[in-house]
Structure 1
C-alpha cells in the first residue's frame, strides 16, 4: 500500500463516511480526534494520510466495532469515491454462506443488467430500454467490482467507482454543490428505480395510468429492470432480495437517497405484469426531467428559479426552471439535501442550457411519491 494514495481528501471523506454511519465525535485535539460507536472509541490521528501502517490499524479497529471486514473499511479509506451496492439473497432454505449455483448466476447476470439498464435510463429514460443500451452504461456495468461474499449470509457486494477518469480534477468542498458524475447518476437512478418499482407493485398494475409510468420511468423504472428483478428470484430458494446502498459522501448529502430496498418473492407476478405494461420501445417524452438541483435563488429581475442537473437529447445539461415563491421555499430543502427532483413541462433551448418558464409539475422523489 502506497502512502501517496492516502491523500488528505481521502481521510476527510473517510471521516465523513464514519459520521454518516453512526460514529460520533467524543473529543478533538491537536493530534486528532476520538470517534465513538456503541461504547467503542477509535482514534483518528491527523497523520492518518501519511502512515500506511497507522491507516491499516485504524481500519482494523473500525471494522471490528462495525462488524465489517477490514478490507471493506480499508477500501473506504483508500477509495472513498465509490458507491457500494449490496445484493443480498435471503431464504430459509439457503444454508449459511451457500446458495444454489443457478441462483448465484441469475443474481450476477441480472445485477449487471440492472446497472446497464439504469445507466441507459439515466441518459435516455424510457418505458423500455429495448436495444438502446448506452455503451457507457454497459462499460460501467462491466467494470463494477465484486468483492468477497460475507460469512453468515449470501451477499454480492458491488463497488461502483465514481469519477473513473484518471485526470479527474474534483475538489471536494462539503459546503458546495458539485455536479455529480455519470457513475453517481447511475447508482442514484438504480436506487430510486428499485424503490419506485416496489411501490408500484403494491397497487393493481392495470390501474396505473400512462402518466404514472412516465413519472416512474423518469427516475429509472424500465421493463428490463422489472424483468431482472423477476429473474433474480427465479430459484424457489430465494424468498427475498435485499439491496443496500452505501453512498460516497464526496458529492454532498445523500439522506434523500434510498438506503435499503427489499423485494419479496410474492411480488413476482406484479413485477411480470409491470414489465408487460412497460413493453414500449419509444423513449420517454422529453417533457419529463429529473435530477438534483445545482442552484436556487432569485434572478436579476426578482423572479425565483432553480437550475436542474439533468439530461436532454442524450446530453447532460442544465435546465433553469421558473418558480413561484411557494415553490422556491419548498425547493430549498431539496437543494440542500441533494434530492432527486421531477419536473414536467415544455422547455426551450437557450444557448447552453434549457429554460422552462411554466412547469406543470414539480416534485421531489421519495419512496411514498408513487
Structure 2
C-alpha cells in the first residue's frame, strides 16, 4: 500500500517542488533548515505517536535523483496519513484549495453508503455551499431565493475528491484564486505568512465562503445545544452575522437524510492564505438535526418573507389545470434587474379571467408576488396583485 508504483515514479519526475512544499505546509509540516541542495521538513509526532518526529528532504531542483527523492517523500507521507502514495501525488497536483470533509455514518460495511443517503447528503452539501456563499456576500437570517452570480460561480467551482478512510467521508475542495508564491513557515518565523511587516495577502472570496461555512455550521450546533439545554427553542437570528441562516439549517437537515443520521464536518485550509482561527471538527448529532429543522421554520415564519416583486409585461401563454399558470413576458420593476424576460406566474382563481382577457387582447399586466428560481428562469408565487392595464 505504501510503495510507489512505476507509473507514479515517472509521474513524480514532473512534479513541481513548490507543489510538494505547498502540500507539506498545509499538513502541518515545517521547514527546519537548508541542507545541500534540499530543504529539511519536519512533522512533530502527535500525542498518540511515540518516537521522534517524521522528516523528509525536499529537493530545490529537478536533478538526476529527483524522482527518487519525491518517491521517498510520498512513501513517508503514505505511512503518516495511511493513504496510497498515488492519492497523495494526485492531491499535490491540485491548485491551492480549502477542504471540507463530510463524514457520514451510514449503516452497513465501512466505506459504503446507501444510494439514497448519498443523494440527500450531496444535495445538502451543495445547498450548504450556496447558503454560505450567500451569507459571505450579505448575512441574512433567511437568504432570498434568487442568488447573485458570485454565489452561482462559487458553487460551480466546488469539486468532489475521492472518499477518505473513516466510515464514509465525502471530500470537497474549493479552489482559491491564483496567489503570489508563499514563503513557507519555519520555526524561526514570527509571521511566516506575511509578505512583510503589517502586510497580509488579500482574502479570496472562496476562502471567505469557507470561513463562513465553518462559522455557520459551528453556530448551528451551538444554537441547537442551547435549545436542548433550555428545553425551549432559542432565537437563531443573532447568529446570522456569523453565517447561520434558515437556508444553512435546512441544508444540514437535508444532509442528515430521512433517517436523520448524525454526521460531522472537518476543515483544512490552504496554507497560502493564513487562517488564524482554530477550526476543530463540528459534529451534528440526530438531536441537533431535529432542533435545526424547527429553528429554520421559526426563522422563515418570523423573518422569511421577501419583499414583493412587481412584474410588468404581457401574457404570452396560459397553461396548467384550469389555466392557473401564466407566462408573462416583461420586466421586473426593480433597479438592479430590469431586463426583459419570461416569468412563470402561479395565478389565483380570481386572476384567471383577467389573465385570459389580457392574453386575448394583448393588454399589459402588472403582477405583484414573491419570486424564486425556476430552472434557468424565475417563477412568481404567492401573487397578491394582478392588474390589467385597459386599452
Provide the TM-score with structure 2 as the length reference: 0.61
- Decide whether the 8 Å contact of 1:81 with 1:162 is kept in 2: yes
Does 1:240 find its partner at 2:249? no
Check conservation: 2:17, 2:59, Cα contact below 8 A: no
Mapped to 1, the partners of 2:125 and 2:67 lie a distance apart of 34
Deviation at residue 142 of structure 1 after TM alignment: 2.4
- 5 Å-filtered alignment, 1:139-288, equals 139-151=153-165, 153-163=167-177, 168=178, 170-173=180-183, 174-175=193-194, 176-204=199-227, 208-209=234-235, 213-214=237-238, 216-236=239-259, 239-252=261-274, 254-279=275-300, 280-281=303-304
- SS of 1:83's partner is strand
The structural deviation recorded for 1:246 is: 0.8
1:105 positional shift: 0.3
Alpha-carbon distance, 1:11 to partner: 4.0
Shift of 1:58: 1.6
Q: Deviations over 1:148-179 (max 9, x none)?
A: 2235521111111111xxxx453435224112
Q: Which residue of 1 aligns with 2:25?
A: 16
* Count of residue correspondences: 270
Match runs of 1:1-370 below 5 Å:
1=11, 6=16, 8=18, 10-18=19-27, 20=28, 23=29, 29-30=35-36, 31-36=38-43, 37=45, 38=49, 39=52, 41-47=54-60, 51=66, 54-79=69-94, 81-91=96-106, 93-151=107-165, 153-163=167-177, 168=178, 170-173=180-183, 174-175=193-194, 176-204=199-227, 208-209=234-235, 213-214=237-238, 216-236=239-259, 239-252=261-274, 254-279=275-300, 280-281=303-304
- Judged with a 3 Å threshold, the aligned counterparts in structure 2 of structure 1 residues 217 and 69 are, in CA distance, closer, same or farther, namely farther
Greater Rg, structure 1 or structure 2?
Answer: 2
* Paired residues of 1:246 and 1:259 also in contact (CA < 8 A): no
Question: 3-state DSSP class of the match of 1:259?
Answer: coil
- For the residues of structure 1 that align with 2:57 and 2:146, how far apart are their CA atoms? 47
Checking the alignment, whether the CA contact within 8 Å between 2:17 and 2:61 is kept in structure 1 is no
CA RMSD across the alignment: 2.9
Mapped to 1, the partners of 2:208 and 2:246 lie a distance apart of 19
Higher relative contact order (CA 8 A, sep 6+): 1
Give the CA deviation at 1:196: 0.6
Distance 1:182 1:282 in 2: 28
Shift of residue 182, structure 1, vs aligned partner: 0.5
CA deviation string 1:82-121 (max 9, x = no partner): 1111111014x33211111110000111101100111111
Asked if the contact 2:59–2:69 (Cα under 8 Å) also holds between the matched residues in 1, the reply is: no
Q: Distance in 1 between matches of 2:139 and 2:90?
A: 32
Tell me by how many angstroms 1:49 deviates: 6.7
SS of the residue aligned with 1:243? strand
Q: Is the 8 A contact 2:15 2:93 kept in 1?
A: yes
Distance in 2 (CA, whole Å) between partners of 1:2 and 1:248 is: 22
Whole-angstrom CA distance in 2 between matches of 1:61 and 1:48:
20
Q: Measure the CA separation in 2 of the matches of 1:49 and 1:220.
A: 45
Return 5+ residue gaps in structure 1 as ranges. Answer: 284-313, 315-370
Q: TM-score under structure 1 normalisation?
A: 0.64
Residue 282 of structure 1 deviates from its aligned partner by: 6.8
Q: Is contact 2:161–2:172 with CA below 8 Å preserved after alignment? A: yes
